[in-house]
Structure 1
Amino acid sequence: MVVGEFTTEVDTIVLGAGPGGYVAAIRASQLGQKVIVVEKEHVGGVCLNVGCIPSKALISASHRYEQMAHSDAFGIKAENITIDFLKVQAFKNQVVERLTGGVRGLLKAHDIELVEGEALFVEPDVVRVNHGYESSRYKFNHCIIATGSSPIEIPGFKWSDRVLSSTGALALKEVPKKMVVIGGGYIGIELSAAYAGFGTEVVILEGSPSILPNFEKRLIAPVKKKLKEKGVTVYTQALAKGVTETAEGVSVTAEIKGEVKTFAADYVMVTVGRRPNTRDLGLDLAGVEVTERGLIKVDKQGKTTADNIYAIGDIVPGMALAHKASYEGKVAAEAIAGEASEVDYRAMPAVVFSDPEIATVGLSEEEAVKAGYEVKTGQFPFAANGRALSLGATDGFLKIVSRESDGLVLGAQIVGTNASDMIAEFGLAIESGMTIEDIALTVHAHPTLGEMAMEAAEVALGKPIHIAK
């Protein structure tokens, strides 16, 4: 229905078509709302276009190359292995196109109108969408803001053909001979390992005392070992000072524990974090308050300080995770429909697609103790698992954390091959209120990596079978 000359009325308008926005839109449509989605740049968001999905495609290709080049232990020797990196990029792009096309198809199947343009609040219940020199106005009953985040550009390192964000690093047309990576968080580590796997000489400059500073030291140890094996040099407590560019490459200057060093490379990639895309939205006109960091203040249903506006994903406090955004999107859509949905992050998994992978959910042992629990833990090594041995992937371990009084599962941490898939069992256990005895009594197929969950539970119960007590 048209209201006034250029204003369209809608039940719910969603700003952003990323993993949070498109999921929120679909759930809202399922609940009977008339929905419009506005997307400024990428249908599918950063995740599907220039983040999670393309990076995993690149990582997968890197692993395949490494496996071919280092299969002597399996009795397989391959010679003259070459990389057609343009074909690698074509594979990556094909994956992206298939998924983003799927999102468009899902929106269409749910009768959700997709409007491509840049959104701006002009009144508490009106959004203007600019499409080049034209614009449209939408009057909404409810709005869900899901505008995501952008890479942080640091002083002295302005984006260019040689100074790259993660987006630029994913789009290279060649495998660099040398690359400097500023930032040893999950994005820096994932892409460093991927390019090192292709043969790039990588230097990582991390400002804190350790790479992956938000994870336990024991989880990081196998990743550090593998990076060293790949020839990656890691400097911690390193402050990047500046870069000089030439047509052939870059020269990066850094202060490392008081000493100034210079590194020559083909490219420098900056991965020091992301900032929420909340500027230039006109949030003040909508009555939406933000924190000093630019994050939108929300309650447990995603409702902002404006009763009819919700916010989800990277623009609200908490971990910047695609699956967190999707979860919050469902909650917000259900809250708008009058349901009593609220977020509960107890079983929110986090994964680093490093080599080997790291995956966690719930509380670590240290966090559980700080929270006042008396805990009982069980740990089982990949080196004692038949499937891991047959894969030649024996680095790492699985650890389960439980409440001592009744064995309630509080959390789990895994470092090792396929950790990203294995962590789901523990998310379900936490969500369902399961105990370590429940897991130990569940028959797991043999030989699989998944049976390490049962083995670790038996260790926690004091009755291990496949390692000495």
Structure 2
Amino acid sequence: MSVTKSHHYDVVVLGGGTAGELCARELAAAGREVALVENRLIGGESPFFASVPSKSLLHAARRGETWETAIARRDELTCELDDAPATARLEESGVTVLRGYGRIARAGVVEVDGAAYGYADLVVATGSEPVVPEVEGLADAPVWTSDEALTVPDLPRRLVVLGGGRVGCELAQVYGAFGSQVTLVESAPALLAEEAPFTGELLADALRRMGVDVRTGAAPAKVERSDPGLRLWLSDGSLLDADRVLVATGRRPRTRGVGLAAVGVTTGPGEPLRIDETCRLHGRDGLWAAGDVTGMKTAHAAAYQARVVAANVLGKRRTADYRALPRTLFTTPSVYAVGVSPRRAENEGMDLLSAGYDLAATVRGRVEDAGPGRVELYADRSTGKLVGAAAVGPYAEEWMGEIALAIRAEVPLSVLTDVAHAFPTYGEAVEAPLRELADRL
């Protein structure tokens, strides 16, 4: 199919999620002629589109609001993220929105529902899709993913959440707080298995205190419809009854059908696209990728990559540095992690030195009591630099930001230990472990 001059763009972006939308906006603002291709929601289904409603519901639960009030506010907030307003904002910023299913036809050409468009640069930002585990009977059961759980008005009486990662834990707390009888099932021995052990332990305790039945070390083995609802058998032999199953066992990059082979890019099913430090796809000129499709799992990570791509397309060389991208749960209490975790250090053979501090003394007497909390900081013994941190505590995502900056900027411990924090604040909690690390290195 030939490409006419009127159908040629400086940049075509495949995917209108967090990464794609932001990248398109920045390039259009810089004067590039940009087209964005999307056949689903502008703004994306995950992670950004899910972030606003989940945080809204968690905040409503913290305030003790009713379910009806909570979903009304959720819907009011997310209406600004709905497809039509988001599309209008993009077009107002100078981006041409091409509605339909886009695929790469050949180098320099994409097809959108049969129409051909040329490009000089192509950004693949096709996002990710939920992974539903292969469990007998699960495909025939009334299953939710996070997409349904954060858009429908239903409040199941009995809910089973499969997956003890970030999404599963947040949604278990949301529904548990509003009265659902929630069972959270995680096949690993603990929640948040990739993070510092104390984070999963403290979060599991917090969930149990609010009535969530946390089952670790067990996986779903079989699902059957019952009257009424569903019946689940777990690998440990236990039996659960539910009205709804919410699957939060992970997501995989959406690469199928994109046409990557047409430009010489091959990847296995569910594998992330390989990019270099500039987010260039497979090192090929004019091909870029950002967001979930590269293995990113948070909205802020996708946005970070989008800005890296935009800068490089504009000829302003920028490299991505992933050492200090936060990993957060907006539960009560919040969970925050950044940089190297103890598990990763063990897998990579790093000699990690850790120091911790319990928040009990810091939070005593505060208006808000979110239960036990802790901060741990990790330094690389070979370099003497701070490389990671984890925290559980009220609004930890707010007051741990300085540690992310310290890791990214490689701030010496001697400087960090000389910083005075306002009293009384949660930020004081980092002072003791910083001094301990400085003394031990």
Which secondary structure state, in structure 1, belongs to the residue aligned with residue 121 of structure 2?
Answer: strand
What amino acid maps onto 1:163 in structure 2?
A: V
For 2:424 and 2:197, how far apart are their aligned partners in 1? 29
Contact persistence 1:7–1:137 (CA under 8 A):
no
Q: What is the aligned counterpart of 2:310 among 333, 357, 364?
A: 333
Select which of 278, 281, 286 maps to 1:308: 286
- Whether 1:217 and 2:197 are equivalent positions in the alignment is yes
Report the residue type matching 2:217 in the other structure.
Q
Query: By how many angstroms is 1:4 displaced?
Result: 4.8
Corresponding residue number in structure 2 for 1:228: 208
Question: Aligned-pair distance for 1:345?
Answer: 0.8
Q: How far, CA to CA, are the matches of 1:206 and 1:431 in structure 2?
A: 32
The offset of 1:431, in angstroms, is: 1.7
Picking from 62, 69, 80, the partner of 1:87 is 69
Alignment-derived partner of residue 122 in structure 1? 105
Residue matched to 1:69: none
Which residue pairs with 1:349 in the alignment? 326
4+ residue runs over 4 A deviation: 3-7, 99-106, 365-376, 403-407
Could you say what secondary structure the match of 2:45 adopts?
helix
Tell me the SS of whatever aligns to 2:154: coil
Shift in CA distance, 234/370, structure 1 to aligned 2, threshold 3 Å: closer
Match of 1:227, SS? helix
2:392 counterpart residue number: 415
The aligned amino acid for 1:146 is A
Cα distance in 2 between the residues matched to 1:337 and 1:428: 26
User: In the alignment, is residue 285 of structure 1 matched against residue 262 of structure 2?
Assistant: yes
Distance in 2 of aligned mates of 1:339 and 1:92: 39
Distance in 1 separating the partners of 2:222 and 2:347? 40
TM-score by length of 2: 0.89
Aligned counterpart for 1:158 among listed residues 139, 156, 169: 139
CA distance in 2, matches of 1:105, 1:456: 49
Distance 1:388 1:409 in 2: 31
Gaps of 5+ in 1: 66-81, 464-469
Counterpart in 2 of 1:43? 42
Q: Any conservation in 2 of the 1:17–1:43 contact (CA below 8 Å)?
A: yes
- Residue 273 of structure 1 pairs with residue 253 of structure 2: no
- Contact 1:250–1:264 (8 Å) recurs in 2: yes
Identity %: 28
The amino acid that maps onto 1:314 is D
Q: CA deviation at 1:239?
A: 2.7
Query: What is the CA deviation profile of residues 86-113 of structure 1, one whole-angstrom value per residue up to 9, with x for unaligned ones?
Result: 4322211211122457755653453122
**Alignment partners' CA distance in 1, 2:188 and 2:250:** 13
Any idea what SS the aligned residue of 1:441 has? coil
Distance 1:235 1:347, change over 3 A: same
Give the match for residue 124 of structure 2: 145
- Deviations 1:204-229 (CA, angstroms, capped at 9, x unpaired): 22222222211121221111111211
Counterpart-to-counterpart distance in 2, 1:334 and 1:254: 49
Task: Name whichever of 441-450 and 184-193 sits farther off.
Answer: 441-450
Q: 1:249 to 1:388 in 2, by over 3 A?
A: farther
C-alpha distance in structure 1 between counterparts of 2:47 and 2:299, whole Å: 10
The 8 Å contact of residues 249 and 264 in structure 1, kept in 2 or not, is answered as yes
Matched with 1:466 is: none
Cα pair 1:376 1:407 within 8 Å, conserved = no
Give the whole-Å Cα distance in 2 for the aligned partners of 1:39 and 1:437: 50
Residue of structure 1 equivalent to 2:225: 245
Q: Look up the SS of the partner of 2:172 in the other structure.
A: helix
SS of 2:322's equivalent in the other structure is coil
Q: Partners of 2:364 and 2:418 in 1: how far apart?
A: 20
Kept in 1: contact 2:254–2:270 (CA 8 A): no
Q: Residues 7 and 33 (structure 1 numbering): CA distance in 2 closer, same or farther, change over 3 Å? A: closer
Q: Secondary structure at the match of 1:158?
A: helix
Distance 1:457 1:90 in 2: 44
3-state secondary structure, aligned to 1:385: helix
Aligned length: 435
Q: How does 1:62-73 map to 2 (within 5 A)?
A: 62-65=61-64
Unaligned runs of at least 5 residues, structure 2: none
Distance 1:445 1:354, change over 3 A: same
* Residues 178, 267 of structure 1: 8 Å contact kept: yes
Quote the Cα distance in structure 1 between the aligned partners of 2:220 and 2:355: 41
In the aligned structure 1, how far is the partner of 2:383 from the partner of 2:365?
31
Does structure 2 conserve the Cα–Cα contact (< 8 Å) formed by 1:291 and 1:297?
A: no
Letter in 1 for 2:243: D
1:380 corresponds to 2:379: no
Q: Using the TM superposition, name which of 170-179 and 403-412 deviates more.
A: 403-412
**1:96 equivalent among 71, 78, 91:** 78
Residue 94 of structure 2 is aligned with which of 79, 101, 111?
A: 111
User: 3-state SS of the aligned residue for 2:17?
Assistant: coil
Distance, in Å, in 2 between the alignment partners of 1:252 and 1:404 is 47
Deviations 1:311-340, CA, capped at 9 Å, x for gaps: 111111x44222111111111222222232
Paired residues of 1:382 and 1:393 also in contact (CA < 8 A)? no
1:376–1:255 distance in 2 versus 1, CA, 3 Å? closer
- What is the CA–CA distance in structure 1 between the aligned matches of 2:430 and 2:367, rounded to whole Å? 18
What is the one-letter code of the residue matched to 1:176? P
Question: Quick check: 2:387–2:407 contact (8 Å CA) kept in 1?
Answer: yes
Q: For the Cα contact (< 8 Å) 2:48–2:299, is it kept in 1?
A: no
C-alpha distance in structure 2 between counterparts of 1:215 and 1:152, whole Å = 21
Secondary structure of the residue aligned to 1:333 is helix
Q: Relative to 1, partners in 2 of residues 1:319 and 1:120: Cα closer, same or farther, differing over 3 Å?
A: closer
Partner of 1:60: 59
Change (3 A) 1:105 1:449: farther
Q: Which string of whole-angstrom CA distances, capped at 9 and with x for unpartnered residues, describes residues 335-365 of structure 1?
A: 2222321221111111123332211111235
Match of 2:276 in 1: 299
Secondary structure, counterpart of 2:324 in structure 1: coil
Q: Distance in 2 between matches of 1:387 and 1:323?
A: 32
Is residue 430 of structure 1 aligned with residue 407 of structure 2? yes
Native 8 Å contact 1:368 1:410 kept in 2: no
